[in-house]
Every structure is written in structure tokens, then in C-alpha cells.
A and B are shown apart, each in its own frame.
Chain A
Amino acid sequence: MIKSIWHWIQRFSSPKHFYGMSAKLIPWFTVSALLVGLYGLYLGLFVAPTDYQQGESYRIIFIHVPAAWMSLFVYMVMAISSGIGIIWQIRLADMVAAASAPIGASFAFLALVTGSLWGKPMWGAYWVWDARLTSELILLFLYFGYMALQSAIEDQRSADKASGLLAIVGVVNITIIHYSVEWWNTLHQGATVAKFDKPSMHIDMLIPLLLMALAFKLFYAAVVLVRTRNEALYRDRNRRWVRELINEL
């Protein structure tokens, strides 16, 4: 039983199989990301009411919060796939981790800059060394560290091991980011959506926020598939399936 599951996993996680299957998924993720994103933007910019405290400036939330959530989500994908790659030596998992790093870094960067652009009119400063902001900045550096290790180490398996280990250790920082608004007195506001009580947000603001979060997630799915395909092509460049594929192009 376990043996047949193992065979099944190995078959479906072969880069060749993944390469064929992912081609069919990418258009679906792309189109749904676009549709959900456009509808979310429409609701967020035209339908959602003005905030009674922050006026129109709060509309940055519809990109800031999804970007910040994604920077954490992509990091967890990266760390978990690295773990799977290290423990079970599934090459596809290492490829997914490597493919996720630049995307996650771009989300972390976006979360930091949009947060800064929101902080200026609301707090009076583009940047404060606050626990939430600082731990998110460390997250960006963890992504950079992962990417630097990937490109600095020649041998692919050693590179995956070293960068994967960094990713796994860095999960501590994810916990810190999440609880930073509770553990420290920060300028950054506490959770408004992800908490046990019901979200303290107007439903007309909450729906576009959740739609934008979904759109970001679908977008990540499309981009990570394209990037993982690239990793598969590059890492298997001397294998027969890639050679046959390239010769047909």
C-alpha cells in the first residue's frame, strides 16, 4: 500500500510529468486571477465605502494586505517544499522552492512599499522601526539570502540543501511577523480579518479584500508553475526528455 503510494508520488513528481501537466493548468490560473482581480479592484475602488477615520487612503489595503499575506504564504510554500526536498529527495519540491523565492520576495517588497506609502499619511512617517515592519523587512532579506545561496553554490543538490535549511530556520520569523502586533506595542494595527472573533471590518470592504487576496494567490499559482517549468528545463538540461522537447521546438 505504502509502496504503491510512493510509486504514485514519484511518477507524478517527475519533472517530465509535471512539465506536461502544468502547461494545461497555467492558462486557467492566469484567466481566473485576471477576472477575480478585476472584480476585486472594481469593488475596492468604486463600491467600497470611504473609511470614517482614514478617508480614501485606506484603499491601499486592497493591495497591501494581500501582498503581505502572500509574502508569508509563499514563504511557507518555500520552506515546506524545501523540507520535502531534503527529507524525501523529491526534486520537484526543490524546484518549487527555488521558483517561489523571487515571487515571494516581490510580494514582500510590495507589502513594505505600499505599507510605507500608507504609513506616511496615517502615521506621519514612511518608516518606523516597529516590530511588524522590521520582521517583514527581515522576511525580504531571508528571500534574498535563499536566492543568493541558490546562485552561489555550484552543485545543485548542495545549493538546495543549504538554501532549504535557511528557509526552514527562517520560519521562526513568520511566527514573529504574525504575533508582532500582539507581543509588542506597535504602530501597526492588529489583526482585523484573521482572528477568532468576527472580522472588525465592513462587509463591503472585506469582500474586495478577500477577492484581491484570492487573485494574488491565483496569480502566484500561475507564475510559480511557469518558473518551476523553467527550473525543470534547466536542471534536466542533459536528460533525454528535455533534449527531445527542445529538438521539437
Chain B
Amino acid sequence: MNWSEFFHMGGYAFYVWTSYALTLVIVVANIVSPLLQRRKIIARIKRAIKRENIELAKSHE
């Protein structure tokens, strides 16, 4: 079997490779999305801490 035959998939190339490409997209999305979510959550908590510290300093003035 050579490579062009392999990619041809016996005439079903479109169906087979679209399926595999979509799988790759879903896998990557499942990796990237929680990592972005994590960054957002950490940034949000950091902002909250900052705000609370400012309010705390004000109340002591």
C-alpha cells in the first residue's frame, strides 16, 4: 500500500478524513477550553482580591 492509496481510502476519503479531522478539532477544543476557563477564573479571583484590599484600606482611613 502506498500513501496516495492510503489517503484515497478506497474512494471514501471525504467521509473518513472529515470524521478524523473533526475528532481532532473536538479533542483540541476539549484541551483548550478548560485551560482558557482556568485563566479567566484566576484573573477574576485576583481582581476580587484587589478590590477587597482597596475597600479594606478605605475603611481604615
Contact = CB atoms under 8 A, between A and B. Distances in A.
Interface of A: 45-46, 50, 55-57, 59-60, 63-64, 67, 102-103, 106-107, 109-110, 113-114, 117-118, 120-121, 219, 223, 226-227, 229-230, 233-234, 237, 242-243, 246-247, 249
Interface in B12-45: 12, 15-16, 18-20, 22-23, 26-27, 29-31, 33-35, 37-38, 41-42, 44-45
Contacts, number: 83
A223 B33 CA distance: 10
Contacts of A46: 6
B12 A121 contact: yes
A223 B34 contact: yes
Interface of B: 6, 9-12, 15-16, 18-20, 22-23, 26-27, 29-31, 33-35, 37-38, 41-42, 44-46, 48-49
8 contacts: A45-B6, A55-B12, A56-B11, A56-B16, A223-B30, A223-B31, A230-B37, A243-B49
Contacts of B31: 223
Interface of B is mostly: helix
